Amino acid sequence: MDKLVIRGGNPLSGRLHVGGSKNTALPLMAAALLGDGVTTLHNTPVLQDVFTFANVLRVTGARVDFAPDTDANTPDSMIIDATRIDHTEAPYDLVKKMRASFYMLGALLGRCGEARVSLPGGCAWGPRPVDLHLKGMEALGTKITMDQGYVVAKAPAGGLTGAHIHFEPSSVGATINVMLAAVTANGTTVLDNAAAEPDVVVFGNMLQAMGAQIEGLGTKTVTIKGVDKLNAVEFTNCPDRIELGTYMIAAALATPPGETLTITGANADHLGEAFLSAFEDTGVPFDLNGDTVTVTGTDVIHPVSIRTAPYPGFPTDLQAQWTVMMTQAHGTAYVTDTVYTDRFKHIPELNRMGAGCHVDDHTVIIEGLNGQALQGTNVMSTDLRASVSLVLAGLIAEGETHVHRVYHLDRGYENLEGKLSGAGIAIHREEYQE
Protein backbone atom coordinates (compact mmCIF):
# COMPACT_ATOMS: atom_id res chain seq x y z
CA MET A 1 0.00 0.00 0.00
CA ASP A 2 1.22 3.56 -0.69
CA LYS A 3 1.54 6.70 1.41
CA LEU A 4 2.58 10.24 0.55
CA VAL A 5 5.36 11.81 2.64
CA ILE A 6 5.39 15.60 2.74
CA ARG A 7 8.08 17.70 4.41
CA GLY A 8 6.29 20.94 5.32
CA GLY A 9 7.50 24.46 4.89
CA ASN A 10 8.61 24.57 1.27
CA PRO A 11 7.18 27.45 -0.75
CA LEU A 12 4.60 26.54 -3.40
CA SER A 13 5.33 28.62 -6.48
CA GLY A 14 5.60 28.41 -10.26
CA ARG A 15 2.86 26.56 -12.14
CA LEU A 16 0.29 23.82 -11.62
CA HIS A 17 -1.80 22.40 -14.47
CA VAL A 18 -5.42 21.30 -14.01
CA GLY A 19 -6.35 17.98 -15.61
CA GLY A 20 -9.63 16.77 -17.06
CA SER A 21 -12.63 16.60 -14.73
CA LYS A 22 -13.15 13.21 -13.05
CA ASN A 23 -16.82 13.86 -12.24
CA THR A 24 -17.51 14.82 -15.86
CA ALA A 25 -15.38 12.15 -17.57
CA LEU A 26 -17.41 9.38 -15.89
CA PRO A 27 -20.83 10.46 -17.24
CA LEU A 28 -19.24 11.17 -20.65
CA MET A 29 -18.05 7.55 -20.70
CA ALA A 30 -21.57 6.36 -19.84
CA ALA A 31 -23.01 8.55 -22.62
CA ALA A 32 -20.67 6.90 -25.15
CA LEU A 33 -22.64 3.66 -24.66
CA LEU A 34 -25.69 5.36 -26.22
CA GLY A 35 -23.89 5.89 -29.56
CA ASP A 36 -23.66 2.78 -31.75
CA GLY A 37 -20.19 3.48 -33.05
CA VAL A 38 -16.76 4.72 -31.98
CA THR A 39 -16.71 7.71 -29.60
CA THR A 40 -13.48 9.56 -28.83
CA LEU A 41 -13.17 11.53 -25.57
CA HIS A 42 -10.32 14.02 -25.10
CA ASN A 43 -8.89 15.44 -21.85
CA THR A 44 -9.85 12.34 -19.87
CA PRO A 45 -7.83 12.17 -16.63
CA VAL A 46 -5.54 9.21 -15.96
CA LEU A 47 -7.25 8.14 -12.71
CA GLN A 48 -8.19 4.92 -10.97
CA ASP A 49 -11.92 5.77 -11.17
CA VAL A 50 -11.64 6.16 -14.97
CA PHE A 51 -9.88 2.79 -15.27
CA THR A 52 -12.54 1.17 -13.07
CA PHE A 53 -15.34 2.60 -15.18
CA ALA A 54 -13.57 1.50 -18.39
CA ASN A 55 -13.70 -2.06 -17.03
CA VAL A 56 -17.42 -1.64 -16.27
CA LEU A 57 -18.02 -0.60 -19.90
CA ARG A 58 -15.98 -3.55 -21.20
CA VAL A 59 -18.30 -5.99 -19.38
CA THR A 60 -21.11 -4.91 -21.73
CA GLY A 61 -19.11 -5.74 -24.87
CA ALA A 62 -17.85 -2.21 -25.54
CA ARG A 63 -14.17 -1.77 -26.42
CA VAL A 64 -12.29 0.90 -24.46
CA ASP A 65 -8.75 1.98 -25.36
CA PHE A 66 -6.61 4.79 -23.99
CA ALA A 67 -4.56 6.80 -26.47
CA PRO A 68 -1.90 8.97 -24.86
CA ASP A 69 -2.02 12.09 -27.01
CA THR A 70 0.95 13.09 -29.13
CA ASP A 71 3.05 14.77 -26.43
CA ALA A 72 3.29 14.62 -22.65
CA ASN A 73 1.80 18.09 -22.28
CA THR A 74 -1.54 17.23 -23.84
CA PRO A 75 -4.08 15.19 -21.88
CA ASP A 76 -4.99 11.64 -22.70
CA SER A 77 -7.81 10.48 -24.92
CA MET A 78 -10.12 7.52 -24.71
CA ILE A 79 -11.68 5.59 -27.60
CA ILE A 80 -14.94 3.78 -26.78
CA ASP A 81 -16.36 1.44 -29.45
CA ALA A 82 -19.98 0.81 -28.45
CA THR A 83 -21.01 -0.76 -31.76
CA ARG A 84 -21.80 -4.08 -30.09
CA ILE A 85 -23.42 -4.07 -26.59
CA ASP A 86 -24.50 -7.60 -25.74
CA HIS A 87 -24.27 -7.94 -21.97
CA THR A 88 -26.52 -5.55 -20.04
CA GLU A 89 -24.93 -5.97 -16.60
CA ALA A 90 -22.73 -3.98 -14.20
CA PRO A 91 -21.29 -6.46 -11.68
CA TYR A 92 -20.94 -5.94 -7.91
CA ASP A 93 -17.15 -6.40 -7.84
CA LEU A 94 -16.76 -3.30 -10.04
CA VAL A 95 -19.71 -1.18 -8.85
CA LYS A 96 -18.53 -1.57 -5.22
CA LYS A 97 -15.27 0.19 -6.20
CA MET A 98 -16.96 3.24 -7.62
CA ARG A 99 -20.46 4.55 -7.06
CA ALA A 100 -20.68 6.30 -10.46
CA SER A 101 -20.85 2.84 -12.06
CA PHE A 102 -24.54 3.15 -11.22
CA TYR A 103 -24.80 5.35 -14.34
CA MET A 104 -24.88 2.02 -16.21
CA LEU A 105 -28.55 1.76 -15.20
CA GLY A 106 -29.54 4.75 -17.35
CA ALA A 107 -27.03 4.03 -20.12
CA LEU A 108 -28.11 0.40 -20.62
CA LEU A 109 -31.81 1.31 -20.36
CA GLY A 110 -31.29 4.08 -22.91
CA ARG A 111 -29.36 1.85 -25.30
CA CYS A 112 -30.84 -1.65 -24.76
CA GLY A 113 -34.07 -1.19 -22.78
CA GLU A 114 -32.82 -3.38 -19.94
CA ALA A 115 -30.15 -3.47 -17.23
CA ARG A 116 -28.98 -5.52 -14.26
CA VAL A 117 -26.82 -3.24 -12.10
CA SER A 118 -25.44 -3.88 -8.63
CA LEU A 119 -26.60 -1.40 -6.01
CA PRO A 120 -23.65 0.82 -5.02
CA GLY A 121 -22.51 0.53 -1.41
CA GLY A 122 -22.25 3.39 1.02
CA CYS A 123 -19.03 5.31 1.43
CA ALA A 124 -16.76 6.55 4.20
CA TRP A 125 -19.13 9.26 5.30
CA GLY A 126 -22.38 7.37 5.31
CA PRO A 127 -25.18 5.95 3.15
CA ARG A 128 -25.46 7.21 -0.41
CA PRO A 129 -29.09 6.49 -1.40
CA VAL A 130 -30.20 5.96 -5.02
CA ASP A 131 -33.95 6.28 -4.44
CA LEU A 132 -34.17 9.31 -6.76
CA HIS A 133 -32.48 7.34 -9.56
CA LEU A 134 -34.97 4.47 -9.22
CA LYS A 135 -38.04 6.72 -8.91
CA GLY A 136 -36.94 8.55 -12.07
CA MET A 137 -36.56 5.34 -14.04
CA GLU A 138 -39.96 4.07 -12.86
CA ALA A 139 -41.54 7.38 -13.90
CA LEU A 140 -40.27 6.67 -17.44
CA GLY A 141 -42.10 3.33 -17.37
CA THR A 142 -39.24 1.08 -16.26
CA LYS A 143 -40.17 -2.07 -14.33
CA ILE A 144 -37.72 -2.26 -11.42
CA THR A 145 -37.20 -5.36 -9.28
CA MET A 146 -34.46 -6.15 -6.77
CA ASP A 147 -32.53 -9.41 -6.99
CA GLN A 148 -29.76 -10.23 -4.47
CA GLY A 149 -28.44 -6.66 -4.26
CA TYR A 150 -28.92 -6.00 -7.98
CA VAL A 151 -31.38 -3.60 -9.58
CA VAL A 152 -33.11 -5.44 -12.46
CA ALA A 153 -34.63 -2.92 -14.85
CA LYS A 154 -36.79 -3.56 -17.92
CA ALA A 155 -38.40 -1.07 -20.29
CA PRO A 156 -41.86 -1.84 -21.74
CA ALA A 157 -41.96 -3.49 -25.16
CA GLY A 158 -42.66 -0.14 -26.86
CA GLY A 159 -39.81 1.56 -25.02
CA LEU A 160 -39.70 4.15 -22.24
CA THR A 161 -42.13 7.07 -22.19
CA GLY A 162 -41.25 10.66 -21.29
CA ALA A 163 -42.47 11.90 -17.90
CA HIS A 164 -42.46 14.91 -15.54
CA ILE A 165 -39.97 14.14 -12.75
CA HIS A 166 -39.18 16.21 -9.64
CA PHE A 167 -35.95 15.63 -7.71
CA GLU A 168 -35.85 16.40 -4.01
CA PRO A 169 -33.07 17.05 -3.07
CA SER A 170 -31.23 18.15 -6.19
CA SER A 171 -29.02 15.22 -7.23
CA VAL A 172 -26.12 15.24 -9.72
CA GLY A 173 -26.18 11.47 -10.13
CA ALA A 174 -29.93 11.07 -10.42
CA THR A 175 -30.13 13.91 -12.97
CA ILE A 176 -27.39 12.29 -15.09
CA ASN A 177 -28.79 8.77 -14.78
CA VAL A 178 -32.33 9.75 -15.74
CA MET A 179 -31.06 11.85 -18.68
CA LEU A 180 -29.19 8.77 -19.98
CA ALA A 181 -32.50 6.87 -20.15
CA ALA A 182 -34.75 9.76 -21.21
CA VAL A 183 -32.86 10.89 -24.35
CA THR A 184 -34.18 7.89 -26.34
CA ALA A 185 -37.60 7.63 -24.64
CA ASN A 186 -40.87 8.22 -26.53
CA GLY A 187 -42.01 11.79 -26.00
CA THR A 188 -40.91 14.55 -23.67
CA THR A 189 -39.35 14.40 -20.21
CA VAL A 190 -39.24 17.40 -17.87
CA LEU A 191 -36.78 17.28 -14.96
CA ASP A 192 -37.67 19.67 -12.10
CA ASN A 193 -35.03 20.73 -9.56
CA ALA A 194 -32.47 19.19 -11.89
CA ALA A 195 -28.78 19.50 -10.93
CA ALA A 196 -27.06 22.46 -12.62
CA GLU A 197 -23.46 21.45 -11.85
CA PRO A 198 -21.00 22.01 -14.76
CA ASP A 199 -20.51 18.21 -14.79
CA VAL A 200 -24.19 17.86 -15.78
CA VAL A 201 -24.08 20.72 -18.32
CA VAL A 202 -20.99 19.40 -20.15
CA PHE A 203 -22.46 15.87 -20.09
CA GLY A 204 -25.69 17.30 -21.58
CA ASN A 205 -23.66 19.12 -24.26
CA MET A 206 -22.14 15.78 -25.30
CA LEU A 207 -25.60 14.20 -25.54
CA GLN A 208 -26.71 17.15 -27.71
CA ALA A 209 -23.65 16.61 -29.95
CA MET A 210 -24.79 12.97 -30.27
CA GLY A 211 -28.22 14.15 -31.47
CA ALA A 212 -30.20 14.40 -28.23
CA GLN A 213 -32.82 17.15 -27.95
CA ILE A 214 -32.20 18.86 -24.58
CA GLU A 215 -33.08 22.34 -23.33
CA GLY A 216 -32.49 24.11 -20.00
CA LEU A 217 -29.05 22.68 -19.18
CA GLY A 218 -27.59 24.62 -16.24
CA THR A 219 -31.02 25.60 -14.95
CA LYS A 220 -33.31 23.85 -12.49
CA THR A 221 -35.65 22.67 -15.30
CA VAL A 222 -34.29 20.44 -18.05
CA THR A 223 -36.55 19.37 -20.92
CA ILE A 224 -35.68 16.36 -23.09
CA LYS A 225 -37.46 15.37 -26.31
CA GLY A 226 -36.73 11.69 -26.98
CA VAL A 227 -35.05 10.72 -30.27
CA ASP A 228 -34.74 7.29 -31.92
CA LYS A 229 -30.99 6.94 -31.72
CA LEU A 230 -27.80 8.80 -30.83
CA ASN A 231 -24.60 8.97 -32.87
CA ALA A 232 -21.06 8.36 -31.70
CA VAL A 233 -19.04 11.58 -31.45
CA GLU A 234 -15.65 13.12 -30.73
CA PHE A 235 -15.90 15.28 -27.60
CA THR A 236 -13.57 17.09 -25.19
CA ASN A 237 -13.98 16.85 -21.42
CA CYS A 238 -13.85 20.03 -19.29
CA PRO A 239 -11.15 20.84 -16.68
CA ASP A 240 -11.56 19.56 -13.12
CA ARG A 241 -13.13 22.36 -11.05
CA ILE A 242 -12.39 20.62 -7.74
CA GLU A 243 -8.71 20.23 -8.66
CA LEU A 244 -8.66 23.97 -9.48
CA GLY A 245 -10.23 24.91 -6.14
CA THR A 246 -7.82 22.60 -4.33
CA TYR A 247 -4.81 24.33 -5.94
CA MET A 248 -6.15 27.82 -5.18
CA ILE A 249 -6.41 26.82 -1.51
CA ALA A 250 -2.93 25.24 -1.65
CA ALA A 251 -1.56 28.58 -2.89
CA ALA A 252 -3.33 30.49 -0.11
CA LEU A 253 -1.64 28.15 2.38
CA ALA A 254 1.87 27.67 0.96
CA THR A 255 2.72 30.42 -1.54
CA PRO A 256 4.93 32.99 0.24
CA PRO A 257 3.59 36.55 0.63
CA GLY A 258 4.04 38.46 -2.61
CA GLU A 259 4.92 35.34 -4.65
CA THR A 260 2.48 33.90 -7.19
CA LEU A 261 1.23 30.46 -8.17
CA THR A 262 -0.01 30.18 -11.76
CA ILE A 263 -2.71 27.56 -12.36
CA THR A 264 -3.23 26.67 -16.03
CA GLY A 265 -5.84 24.69 -17.97
CA ALA A 266 -8.59 25.94 -15.63
CA ASN A 267 -12.21 27.03 -16.00
CA ALA A 268 -12.92 29.20 -12.96
CA ASP A 269 -16.60 29.69 -13.96
CA HIS A 270 -17.14 26.04 -13.05
CA LEU A 271 -16.27 26.79 -9.41
CA GLY A 272 -19.47 28.83 -9.01
CA GLU A 273 -20.01 32.28 -7.50
CA ALA A 274 -20.16 31.12 -3.87
CA PHE A 275 -16.62 29.70 -3.84
CA LEU A 276 -15.09 32.64 -5.73
CA SER A 277 -16.70 35.26 -3.48
CA ALA A 278 -15.73 33.32 -0.34
CA PHE A 279 -12.14 33.08 -1.61
CA GLU A 280 -12.18 36.84 -2.28
CA ASP A 281 -13.42 37.51 1.26
CA THR A 282 -10.36 35.72 2.71
CA GLY A 283 -8.24 38.58 1.34
CA VAL A 284 -5.98 36.23 -0.64
CA PRO A 285 -5.39 38.02 -3.97
CA PHE A 286 -6.25 36.07 -7.14
CA ASP A 287 -6.76 36.86 -10.78
CA LEU A 288 -8.85 35.05 -13.43
CA ASN A 289 -7.58 35.33 -17.00
CA GLY A 290 -9.15 32.86 -19.44
CA ASP A 291 -7.89 29.38 -18.60
CA THR A 292 -5.27 30.75 -16.19
CA VAL A 293 -5.80 31.55 -12.52
CA THR A 294 -3.03 33.26 -10.52
CA VAL A 295 -3.03 33.32 -6.71
CA THR A 296 -0.67 35.52 -4.70
CA GLY A 297 0.54 34.59 -1.24
CA THR A 298 -0.41 36.89 1.63
CA ASP A 299 0.41 37.30 5.32
CA VAL A 300 -3.16 37.31 6.58
CA ILE A 301 -6.06 34.98 5.73
CA HIS A 302 -9.38 36.32 6.99
CA PRO A 303 -11.78 33.72 8.45
CA VAL A 304 -14.71 33.09 6.07
CA SER A 305 -17.57 30.80 7.06
CA ILE A 306 -19.23 28.77 4.31
CA ARG A 307 -22.26 26.52 3.78
CA THR A 308 -22.10 23.97 0.97
CA ALA A 309 -25.00 23.78 -1.50
CA PRO A 310 -25.77 22.49 -4.99
CA TYR A 311 -24.20 24.55 -7.82
CA PRO A 312 -23.71 27.52 -7.98
CA GLY A 313 -23.41 27.11 -4.21
CA PHE A 314 -20.15 26.24 -2.45
CA PRO A 315 -19.09 22.74 -3.63
CA THR A 316 -19.23 20.05 -0.93
CA ASP A 317 -16.14 18.53 -2.61
CA LEU A 318 -14.13 21.57 -1.46
CA GLN A 319 -15.33 21.81 2.16
CA ALA A 320 -12.50 19.67 3.60
CA GLN A 321 -9.88 21.69 1.73
CA TRP A 322 -11.51 24.96 2.89
CA THR A 323 -11.38 23.75 6.49
CA VAL A 324 -7.57 23.37 6.24
CA MET A 325 -7.32 26.90 4.88
CA MET A 326 -9.38 28.19 7.83
CA THR A 327 -6.94 26.59 10.32
CA GLN A 328 -4.54 29.32 9.20
CA ALA A 329 -7.09 32.13 9.35
CA HIS A 330 -6.89 34.94 11.89
CA GLY A 331 -10.09 34.11 13.75
CA THR A 332 -12.87 31.54 13.94
CA ALA A 333 -14.72 30.13 10.91
CA TYR A 334 -17.73 27.82 10.53
CA VAL A 335 -17.95 25.21 7.74
CA THR A 336 -21.39 23.65 7.28
CA ASP A 337 -22.10 20.84 4.82
CA THR A 338 -25.79 20.86 3.85
CA VAL A 339 -25.30 18.26 1.08
CA TYR A 340 -23.71 15.50 3.18
CA THR A 341 -24.29 16.02 6.89
CA ASP A 342 -21.48 13.75 8.08
CA ARG A 343 -18.58 14.37 5.68
CA PHE A 344 -16.08 15.18 8.44
CA LYS A 345 -13.86 12.08 8.74
CA HIS A 346 -10.80 14.29 8.11
CA ILE A 347 -11.37 16.38 11.26
CA PRO A 348 -9.90 13.92 13.82
CA GLU A 349 -6.82 13.58 11.60
CA LEU A 350 -6.40 17.35 11.28
CA ASN A 351 -6.75 17.71 15.05
CA ARG A 352 -3.95 15.16 15.49
CA MET A 353 -1.83 17.68 13.58
CA GLY A 354 -2.76 20.38 16.08
CA ALA A 355 -5.74 21.95 14.33
CA GLY A 356 -8.46 23.35 16.58
CA CYS A 357 -11.58 21.91 14.92
CA HIS A 358 -14.81 20.94 16.64
CA VAL A 359 -17.74 19.22 14.89
CA ASP A 360 -21.23 20.19 16.04
CA ASP A 361 -23.99 18.41 14.08
CA HIS A 362 -23.12 19.17 10.43
CA THR A 363 -20.92 22.15 11.13
CA VAL A 364 -17.22 22.23 11.95
CA ILE A 365 -15.98 25.18 14.03
CA ILE A 366 -12.38 26.04 13.24
CA GLU A 367 -10.34 28.11 15.69
CA GLY A 368 -7.76 29.73 13.42
CA LEU A 369 -4.18 29.17 14.59
CA ASN A 370 -3.27 32.76 13.72
CA GLY A 371 -0.47 31.48 11.50
CA GLN A 372 0.96 29.03 14.07
CA ALA A 373 2.21 25.85 12.41
CA LEU A 374 0.46 22.50 12.36
CA GLN A 375 2.61 19.53 13.41
CA GLY A 376 3.50 16.84 10.86
CA THR A 377 2.62 13.26 11.90
CA ASN A 378 1.09 10.02 10.61
CA VAL A 379 -2.47 10.56 9.34
CA MET A 380 -5.03 8.29 7.69
CA SER A 381 -7.03 9.01 4.52
CA THR A 382 -10.67 7.98 4.65
CA ASP A 383 -12.00 9.29 1.34
CA LEU A 384 -10.90 11.23 -1.70
CA ARG A 385 -11.35 14.81 -0.55
CA ALA A 386 -10.37 14.07 3.06
CA SER A 387 -7.05 12.67 1.80
CA VAL A 388 -6.22 15.76 -0.25
CA SER A 389 -7.06 17.98 2.74
CA LEU A 390 -4.40 16.07 4.73
CA VAL A 391 -1.87 16.72 1.95
CA LEU A 392 -2.74 20.43 2.10
CA ALA A 393 -2.17 20.38 5.87
CA GLY A 394 1.18 18.66 5.26
CA LEU A 395 2.32 21.50 3.01
CA ILE A 396 2.37 23.87 5.98
CA ALA A 397 2.97 21.49 8.91
CA GLU A 398 6.29 21.44 10.78
CA GLY A 399 8.24 18.28 10.00
CA GLU A 400 7.01 15.31 7.98
CA THR A 401 3.39 14.31 7.38
CA HIS A 402 2.75 10.72 6.26
CA VAL A 403 -0.64 10.45 4.53
CA HIS A 404 -1.58 6.76 4.61
CA ARG A 405 -4.01 4.80 2.35
CA VAL A 406 -3.39 7.23 -0.48
CA TYR A 407 -5.33 4.97 -2.85
CA HIS A 408 -8.26 7.19 -1.90
CA LEU A 409 -6.42 10.17 -3.37
CA ASP A 410 -5.39 8.29 -6.52
CA ARG A 411 -9.09 7.99 -7.41
CA GLY A 412 -9.39 11.71 -8.08
CA TYR A 413 -6.03 13.47 -8.41
CA GLU A 414 -3.74 12.59 -11.30
CA ASN A 415 -0.04 12.55 -10.36
CA LEU A 416 -0.52 14.98 -7.46
CA GLU A 417 2.94 14.37 -6.01
CA GLY A 418 4.53 14.94 -9.42
CA LYS A 419 2.65 18.20 -9.93
CA LEU A 420 3.38 19.53 -6.41
CA SER A 421 7.08 18.51 -6.63
CA GLY A 422 7.28 20.51 -9.86
CA ALA A 423 6.02 23.56 -7.94
CA GLY A 424 8.60 23.34 -5.15
CA ILE A 425 7.00 20.97 -2.63
CA ALA A 426 9.04 18.22 -0.89
CA ILE A 427 6.67 15.30 -1.42
CA HIS A 428 7.21 11.69 -2.43
CA ARG A 429 5.37 8.35 -2.47
CA GLU A 430 6.47 5.40 -0.36
CA GLU A 431 5.23 1.84 -0.05
CA TYR A 432 4.37 0.60 3.45
CA GLN A 433 2.79 -2.39 5.19
CA GLU A 434 -0.33 -1.76 7.32
Closest approach of Cβ 304 to ligand EPZ, in Å? 20
CB 244 within 8 A of CB 388: no
Among 4, 12, 25, 26, binds ligand EPZ (CB under 6 A): 26
CB 373 within 8 A of CB 397: yes
Closest residue by beta carbon to ligand EPZ? 173
Binding residues for ligand EPZ, total number by CB under 6 A: 23
Per-residue mark of binding to ligand EPZ, 339-368 (x: CB under 6 A): xx----------------------------
- What angle in degrees, to the nearest 10, is found between the helix axes of 104-112 and 172-182? 10
Q: Under the criterion CB under 6 A, does residue 394 sit at the interface with ligand EPZ?
A: no
Closest approach of Cβ 195 to ligand EPZ, in Å? 6
The one segment of 171-179, 244-252, 259-267, 357-365 that binds ligand EPZ by CB under 6 A: 171-179
Minimum CB distance to ligand EPZ smaller for 23 or for 189: 23
Q: Under the criterion CB under 6 A, does residue 172 sit at the interface with ligand EPZ?
A: yes
Q: How many helices (H) and strands (E) does the chain have?
A: 14, 24
> Can you spell out the DSSP letters for 364-415?
EEEE--TTPPPB--EEE--SHHHHHHHHHHHHHSBSEEEEE-THHHHTT-TT
Among 33, 62, 100, 207, binds ligand EPZ (CB under 6 A): 100
Strand partners, 123: 126
Q: Is the bond preceding residue 129 a cis peptide, omega within 30 degrees? A: no
Phi/psi for 67 (5° steps) reads -120, 100
Identify the helix (H) or strand (E) that includes residue 356: strand 356-360
Is 112 assigned a catalytic role?
Answer: no
What is the rounded CA–CA span in Å between residue 369 and residue 393?
13
The one segment of 31-39, 168-176, 184-192, 359-367 that binds ligand EPZ by CB under 6 A: 168-176
Q: Under the criterion CB under 6 A, does residue 248 sit at the interface with ligand EPZ?
A: no
Strand 76-81 with 38-44, pairing: antiparallel
Q: Out of 112, 123, 238, 357, which one is annotated catalytic?
A: 123
Q: Under the criterion CB under 6 A, does residue 171 sit at the interface with ligand EPZ?
A: yes
Q: Under the criterion CB under 6 A, does residue 378 sit at the interface with ligand EPZ?
A: no
Q: Which residues bind ligand EPZ (CB under 6 A)?
A: 23, 26, 99-100, 128-133, 169, 171-174, 199, 316-317, 339-340, 384-385, 412
Catalytic residues: 123
